[in-house]
């Protein structure tokens, strides 16, 4: 019985430590939650924003935005769209197409469900993250 309770106590303490000190820091790198909260706080309607060339799926954006954010594959599909959630490839495509835009939110993105030693290390984390952008089309 002592071995069981000792093991269980160790797991509980490790879980509390990881939840409160490690994951809190790492979760700020999830683009879905950060962008979704921003979309919700700015009251951007779902019919005015779309995902464009997102390299990693960010399924949580729908939950945090409290709306279903559609995706578009080409810029010819953005007739009524005023905002795009994108990454570097999408931003380059917007630049090359000649659309004028303004970056209204930018942040680091990493799939925290696939942690790597380089990402966990704060000194090398910058080389592992990519940027996401919410751009307002003009």
Residue 110 has pLDDT above 80, yes or no: yes
Residue 58 Cα distances to 35, 71, 106, angstroms: 10, 11, 15
Distance CA 73, CA 71 (A): 7
- What DSSP designation does 79 have? S
| pLDDT at residue 54 tops 80 | yes
Give me the pLDDT at residue 64, please.
93
Taking residues 127-138, what's their average pLDDT? 93
For 34-58, what is the mean pLDDT?
91
Percent with pLDDT over 70 in the chain:
100
Both tokens of 115, joined, read 């942690």
**Confidence grade of residue 80 (pLDDT, cut at 50, 70, 90):** confident
Give the pLDDT confidence of 10-29 residue by residue, as tens digits.
999 999 998 888 788 888 89
Residue 19 pLDDT:
86
Q: Across residues 97-104, what is the average pLDDT?
A: 92
pLDDT at res. 27: 84
**Cα(first)–Cα(last) distance of the chain, in Å?**
67
Q: How confident is the model at residue 113 (pLDDT cuts 50, 70, 90)?
A: confident
Residues composing the chain:
138
Indicate if the pLDDT at residue 57 is higher than 80: no
């Amino acid at each position: 019985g002592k071995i069981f309770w000792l093991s269980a106590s160790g797991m509980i303490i490790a879980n509390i430590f990881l939840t409160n000190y490690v994951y809190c820091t790492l979760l700020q790198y999830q683009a879905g939650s950060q962008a979704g909260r921003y979309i919700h706080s700015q009251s951007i309607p779902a019919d005015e924003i779309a995902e464009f060339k997102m390299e990693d799926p960010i399924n949580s954006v729908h939950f945090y935005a409290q709306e279903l954010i559609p995706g578009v594959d080409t810029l010819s599909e953005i007739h009524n769209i005023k905002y795009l959630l994108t990454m570097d490839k999408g931003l380059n495509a917007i630049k090359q197409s000649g659309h004028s835009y303004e970056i209204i939110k930018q942040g680091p993105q990493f799939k925290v469900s696939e942690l790597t030693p380089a990402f966990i290390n704060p000194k090398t984390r910058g080389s592992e993250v990519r940027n996401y952008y919410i751009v307002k089309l003009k």
